[in-house]
Amino acid sequence: MQATPAPVATQRADILVVDDNPANIELLVAILGSHGYRCRVANSGARALVAAAADVPDLVMLDIAMPGMDGYEVCRQLKAQPATAAVPVIFLSALNGAIDKVQAFGAGGADYIGKPFQIEEVLVRVENQVRIARMQREVGERNTELARLNEELLEATRRLELSNAQLRQLSERDGLTGVANRRLFDGSLLESWSRARQEARTPGLILLDIDHFKEYNDARGHLAGDDCLKRVASALEAEAAASGALVARYGGEEFAVLIDDAQRTDTALLAEALRARVEFEALPHPRSAVAPVVTISVGFAAFAPSAKLEPALLIDAADRALYRAKSDGRNRVRG
């Protein structure tokens, strides 16, 4: 009975036929070639390994009983090489015992065809192995592509997270001084107030104002005034860093320092340290009525939240203390 042509999916598959018997090779090449397969041949195990390494085939049809290197060893060596490990091997043998087949599959074979060959069996088994190998290869390629796409997605996500973090930082930082802006301060105060109510803590707030800053601008110009604000903000952050307090530009030449727990960080001591740190910077002030250098007036307040107290009351208390510091002659701390 004449065999039906192989489906298009397996046309032009490359098959390496390995057998030391020329008659067997001739028969297999005739069968496979007439059904669209491209065949290469090798008459020994050593030549088969060289041919497979030079041009990886889609399938190897391998005789077991060959002189020098038998089919089992050829198969093991093919499976040991990354380039040919996935190539299916169909063993060819006149030995049809169970032990022979077990040994063939143990060496890495994908299928087993007994001699003498049955054309229909050869074609069906070859067709199946070529299809399976191609499907596995396609799955592998798709998995590789999915892994690449996943890595690209992860990288894009990382870049997006970094951009969002940078945008968030820009949206929460004062554009001139680099310290927290009013938006971040307001949100942090509400969060600190809420945590303090839950954990029975006492938030503290320091408000400070650069003394005679208008006169400084008038005498030195606005560019110098901007630089002064930057220098003062940097000094405040450096002094407040150890306590973990948040330094924010509250508005104009006014800054706020938020203390999460005044029971752990002495608000009065930090307020005085901030005042002294700015004076220590020794930024010349040509028109100050207080000192020849830039100074600040500081007010502070700290109390525990309750059902009747709101964060605005803490701001108001610190603001009134700041007003007293200015009224009492500036360059001083009041609470």
Give residue 309's pLDDT. 84
Give residue 4's pLDDT. 45
User: Which amino acid does the sequence have at 3?
Assistant: A
pLDDT digits (tens, 9 = 90+) for 67-91: 999 999 999 999 999 999 999 999 9
User: Which amino acid does the sequence have at 152?
Assistant: E
Give residue 284's pLDDT. 97
Q: Provide, rounded to the nearest whole percent, the portion of the chain with pLDDT above 90.
A: 74
How many Å apart are CA 291 and CA 335, to the nearest integer? Answer: 22
pLDDT digits (tens, 9 = 90+) for 94-144: 877 667 788 888 999 989 998 888 889 999 999 999 998 888 888 888 999
Two structure tokens written together for 121? 């069996």
Delineate the domains of the chain, giving CATH numbers in brackets: 8-142 (3.40.50.2300), 182-334 (3.30.70.270)
Q: pLDDT band for position 10 (50/70/90)?
A: very low
Sign for the CA dihedral angle at 116, 119, 120, 122 comes to: positive
Two structure tokens written together for 13? 């598959």
Q: At what angle do helices 182-199 and 119-172 cross, to 10 degrees?
A: 100
Give residue 55's pLDDT. 94
Mean pLDDT of the residues in the chain: 91
CB atoms within 10 A of CB 265: 17
Triad 240, 334, 251: Cα angle to 5°: 60
pLDDT digits (tens, 9 = 90+) for 20-55: 999 999 999 999 999 999 999 999 999 999 999 999
C-alpha closest to that of 268 among 325, 327, 328, 191: 325
DSSP string, 215-255: HHHHHH-HHHHHHHHHHHHHHHHHHHGGGTPEEEEEETTEE
Q: pLDDT band for position 11 (50/70/90)?
A: low
Task: Inform me whether the pLDDT recorded for 251 exceeds 70.
Answer: yes
How many Å apart are CA 335 and CA 229, to the nearest integer? Answer: 24
Peptide bond into 116 cis (omega under 30): yes
Higher pLDDT, 8 or 198: 198
